[in-house]
Amino acid sequence: MWLAVLASELESLAGEPSAIAEERIRDVVGPVARRHGAGTKQALGVWCVERRRWKARVAAPVAPERIRAALFESKVGRTKHEALAEASRILGLPATTIEECLFADRSGARRLAPPATRATPIELAERYNLALAQALLMRSTRVFAVVREHVRSVVRYAKLRGLMATFEARGDGTSIDLSGPLALFHETTKYGHALAGFLGALAVTPSWWLRAQVNLHGDHYVLQLDATAPMARAHALPMRADSEVERRLVIDLRRLRSGWELAREDTVVHVGQRLFFPDFTLIAPDGRTRVLVEIVGYWDPDYLAKKTEALSAVEAPIIVCVDERHAIGALAPRHNVLAYRNGRVDVAALVSAAERLTPR
């Protein structure tokens, strides 16, 4: 199998320049991959994914910038041989070392350091499959998934990454309906990476399936995956991770000394079949009065319609905090909708809104 050849070749790449390693994959593994129905591009693709686990270091006794500066200054009015001799005297290095390390900081010249554990052929294939599926999700318009276990952790991941997701209870689990990056008109790359990470989080759960509408070069396809897919499962589900907005909000609320406290919301609000997972809860000084708080980052018209419908059906007091860039239409600022900027919520305005929503 060509992946076994690739795994064997990787053992000899330690200490090699990055450019040489890629040539070796192309020249040694590429022909074997073609004989097995794959190709050089696929071999290089597997190496590209595996390369993320490797480190590249600058192998030079002196910073290459300093070597270049010494050599170029020495070159004025001198031949190449004379300039190398002068630079050698200044730096205290052999002329051959100066030539070898002159551009050692370029990406193709950096020396590779392998990861602590070697990859098996199966691991190479599974990591590549995951990366391939993630790349397809970055070209999606809509993603629908069903998760049966560790629902709270998967939901938490989706919310931490700001994904546009709605949730419903089903007989076979909890469904998650997500907007894809191609549904947005801005920040599609950033959102796409967040959605790709969601697949990694979903894949570590024992039982799930996913269907995505994908657009490739103007043609539409359907990507279908489930828990039996041969993909890497090395993602760590968040347990008690906080978003940057929440971290800042906790600090700002303490500084305000209003008596209100912030707590993570662990309950699920049922609105018919739909499930609502608030980001956190504001607790009044009396310790009993609670106001739900929801953070909204990205949105598209379809997601916004579902979100506002679900929020309007929630009977408990709730405040929606929305990025000011998207605070328009149904998410325009009002008594229970606050706009925030640069990832920071105005805690004084938040507390005021909470006090207006709750009886004295």
53: DSSP letter: T
* More confident position, 320 or 300: 320
Q: What is the DSSP track for 181-250?
A: GGG-SS-HHHHHHHHHHHHHHHHTSSSEEEEEEEEETTEEEEEEEETTS---------SS---HHHHHHH
Q: Is the pLDDT of residue 138 over 70?
A: yes
Closest CA to 192 of 173, 176, 214: 214
In tens, the pLDDT along 209-238 reads 999 999 998 899 999 999 999 999 876 665
Q: What is the mean pLDDT of residues 138-150?
A: 93
Element (H or E) spanning 338, and its range?
strand 337-340
**What pLDDT score does 2 carry?**
93
In tens, the pLDDT along 32-68 reads 999 999 999 999 999 999 999 999 999 999 999 999 9
In tens, the pLDDT along 162-200 reads 888 889 998 889 999 998 888 776 668 888 998 999 999
Amino acid at 218: G
In tens, the pLDDT along 86-121 reads 999 999 999 999 999 999 999 999 999 999 999 999
| Residue 78, phi then psi, degrees to nearest 5 | -125, 160
Percent of the chain scoring above 90 in pLDDT: 49
**What pLDDT score does 215 carry?**
92
Q: What contacts 7, CB < 8 A, 6 or more positions away?
A: 118, 119, 120, 121, 124
**pLDDT classification of 265: cutoffs 50, 70, 90:** low
CB atoms within 10 A of CB 161: 21
* 345 touches 338 (CB < 8 A): yes
**pLDDT classification of 344: cutoffs 50, 70, 90:** confident
38: DSSP letter: -
